[in-house]
Structure 1
């Protein structure tokens, strides 16, 4: 194993986070070599995820003031995060000195609310894509979008692809390939229904019905948040 320079990665942890947005890339980035992973939250209390179980933070906002990489996962809890001044201040503070400012899924909306995507191309979950424009970002329909030191991933499972792409840029392609092999990331999904373009209309309609039930008026809420923040 080559000698690697030390790295620190700070993931924001918040209630109703989509845990795979975080744990997928965390598993990959933990193998960057000589790397410390921080799961950062307001307190050290267990944080409930949208999967019905909790994750334990490793640090509080006060304990992690900087990191080489900051990553914001997504989930239904991002709406509350975008309205929380303390959390947005922490994101801005860490992003100011970070080499890489990143997100997975709707975590990009949090970066947007923090003012970190103005004029940057970015992506997010397909169902929230248009909302990036509320914060001055340039919505770009790709699974991974790199614009200068902003690297954003699309919905949920893109977090693994995103982390491998980031690894390649930091440690080189050979190390990224080594990690891909080590986690046997060789996906062959049993169905080809992973995007609205590929899914049948009934499945897409069922998804939108779920969103409208569990998060009614979400688009309007996010737009209102952006307006309140001065975008």
Structure 2
């Protein structure tokens, strides 16, 4: 009797965890769009995206600076490599290769935080990208990781509310989350206006963002 490939079994479990959120090819939702805008602004990158990785495709739930809802083959995506690496955060220099489509798009800056489910499965990424290379510092990576955890927490809340209260309740809850995130963006805009071109992002600003992110999705939500 043939034995089951353990890697195939893990991938099947990962895909099951992803499909359980019923997020693939869903309509655009304000909170996720707002979060990508916040991420791009915070890190001064032209692009930020929330991507989910299936067996053969990468689908972008939300995008800032690029087309939303875009689908790419896994072989043409950097995000699929991050899921395979299974690291909390990965930058361009750590990836095995750069697909030709990414070269054509002149991607020379890329950093992605893994969207890891509570069960430990990599669902996709929250990533930033740009055409001007620069070092994405460890403090910046840490905040990108915190933002990715906010995405996953919101996915958990979305699944729970849709299952127990329905779409209208989720729309209402999402509106509150979006407003809370906009308040954080207002503060970041105010602080960044003092030194709009300063890169990497100053550690003091990153620390403040880390302190305030829990106000967007309080524990217990």
For the criterion TM > 0.5, the same-fold answer is no
TM-score by length of 1: 0.31
TM-score by length of 2: 0.32
